Amino acid sequence: MYNKKSKIELKKSLKRESFNRTTCSFYKYCFIDNPEDLRNKLYSYLIEQDILGRIYVSKEGINAQISIPEHNVENFKSYIHSIDVFSDIKFKHAVEEGASFIKLKILVRDEIVAYKVPEESYDMNKTGVHLKPLDFNRSIKEKDAIIVDMRNYYESEVGRFKNAIIPDAHFSKELLPTVAKTLEGKEDKKVHLYCTGGIRCEKASSYLIKKGFKEVYQLEGGIIQYAHDMKKNDLKSEFIGKNFVFDDRMGERVTNDIIGKCHQCKTPSDNHKNCKNDACHLLFIQCDKCAEKFKDCCSKACNEFLQLDIVTQKKLRKDKNKKVSSAKLSTKFRPKLYKLFNYWK
Ligand SMILES: [Zn+2]
Ligand SMILES: [Zn+2]
């Protein structure tokens, strides 16, 4: 049960659609006895409902980002709620709509977030206190409050809570140890965690509690819910810039602040993109001017590679010694980013 159409075919059929789609996400940590079974069951139903997106299923739960035809949204929600362990799942809708996914992928994984920390380093029965967005705003202003961004570095590069501690982590597997180390000595502070939709804070809060942190809070529904609630209540967002998302939109604008910089010319920009050269595919930030200059590539080298005929390109890609490496940009994390982004794709 897999989709075998090409990328171009998929994009074409998406354009022909006569209905609107809505992007939505949900997760739950809960014991799933047979993830394979659930995966197959979900796949059959979702294909039938024209749902696209990416879902991870594991013995520890489910993590989903999907694009649903508007007329199927209610059906879909009832279907998920009809599954025993998912009866209380909350759905979060995107802050900014747009073409998010072109196909459906449901994968069985060991973890729903790839933290790769030992099982005894957390206890999912003891997680941080959930704070609704308005309460989170109040709480982060209290004495002894600290805010920690529980995402990878490149995500916070384009958007973050003001005054947040940004861990220098480039892989999910580095994140928890890095955060624990960064917060050493702050065990008595009020630690406030946030991430995109809330899922990463669940295990992270549990991990920090086990490490001896006494007061750990997590933003319920993540930045997505926060952005919705600030808008709805006409409140000033303490989160500034863009919320990075793991789909083709690559980001949702929360405020007009542009806090990132083009990786090529260093002017303010917060447009993430993948290098147009598929042999490189690097995730990076590029301003419009550099996009024009480098033809959506991360470097001159990648742009030149794309000018070659397809046969030569294929030959070069095969030949490891001559492999066209991505540009020699000065950002220290570029190869790591490339790998990490592909994990999610
Ligand atoms: Zn630039
Ligand atoms: Zn490149």
3-state secondary structure 102-114: CCEEEEECCCCCC
- pLDDT digit of tens for each residue in the chain (345 aa)? 666 778 888 888 888 888 999 999 999 999 999 999 999 999 999 999 999 999 999 999 999 999 999 999 999 999 999 999 999 999 999 988 888 999 999 999 999 998 999 999 999 999 999 999 999 999 999 999 999 999 999 999 999 999 999 999 988 889 999 999 999 999 999 999 999 999 999 999 999 999 999 999 999 999 999 999 999 999 999 999 999 998 888 999 999 999 999 999 999 999 999 999 988 999 999 999 999 999 999 999 999 998 888 888 888 887 654 444 443 333 444 444 444 443 332
How far apart (Å, rounded) are the C-alpha atoms in residues 207 and 212?
9
Q: Lay out the sheet containing 215-219: strands in order across.
A: 129-131, 215-219, 190-194, 145-149
CA of 287 to the centre of ligand 2 (A): 15
**Token pair recorded at residue 236:** 């000033």
Give the residue among 163, 207, 213, 156 at the shortest CA–CA distance from 184: 213
Q: What one-character DSSP code corresponds to residue 9?
A: H
Q: What is the pLDDT of residue 313?
A: 84
In order of 15, 159, 265, the CA distances from 290 in angstroms are 28, 21, 7
Kindly tell me the number of DSSP H helices and DSSP E strands found in the chain: 12, 14
Strands (E), 59-131: 61-69, 92-93, 104-108, 129-131
Asked whether this chain's domains 7-108 and 119-229 adopt the same fold, the reply is no
Closest-lying ligand to the alpha carbon of 289?
1
Helix (H, G, I), strand (E, B) or coil at 183: coil
CA of 242 to the centre of ligand 1 (A): 18
* Residue that is written with structure tokens 């998912």 in the block: 86
Helix (H, G, I), strand (E, B) or coil at 317: helix
For the four alpha carbons of 11, 104, 253 and 241, in that order, the dihedral sign comes to negative
| In the chain, where the domains are located | 7-108, 119-229, 272-344
CA of 324 to the centre of ligand 2 (A): 9
User: Is 195 a catalytic site residue?
Assistant: yes
Q: What is the pLDDT of residue 99?
A: 87
Q: What is the pLDDT of residue 343?
A: 35
Q: Distance from first CA to last CA of the chain, Å, rounded?
A: 18
How far apart (Å, rounded) are the C-alpha atoms in residues 150 and 174?
11
The CATH class of 119-229 is alpha beta
Closest-lying ligand to the alpha carbon of 285?
1
Closest-lying ligand to the alpha carbon of 279?
2
The CATH class of 7-108 is alpha beta
Residue among 24, 195, 275, 290 flagged as catalytic: 195
Closest-lying ligand to the alpha carbon of 264?
1
Which residues have C-beta under 5 Å from ligand 1, the single-atom ion? Answer: 262, 264-265, 287, 290
CA of 336 to the centre of ligand 1 (A): 21
CA of 271 to the centre of ligand 1 (A): 10
CA of 306 to the centre of ligand 2 (A): 10
164-173 long-range CB contacts below 8 Å, 24 or more apart?
Answer: 164/194, 170/333, 170/336, 170/337, 170/340, 171/336, 171/339, 171/340, 172/113, 172/114, 172/115, 172/116, 172/200, 172/340, 172/343, 173/114, 173/115, 173/116, 173/117
CA of 273 to the centre of ligand 1 (A): 13
Closest-lying ligand to the alpha carbon of 326?
2
CA of 117 to the centre of ligand 1 (A): 37
Q: What is the pLDDT of residue 2?
A: 65
Give yes or no for a contact between 89 and 81, defined as CB atoms under 8 angstroms apart.
yes
Q: What does the angle CA 113 – CA 211 – CA 58 come to, to the nearest 5 degrees?
A: 20
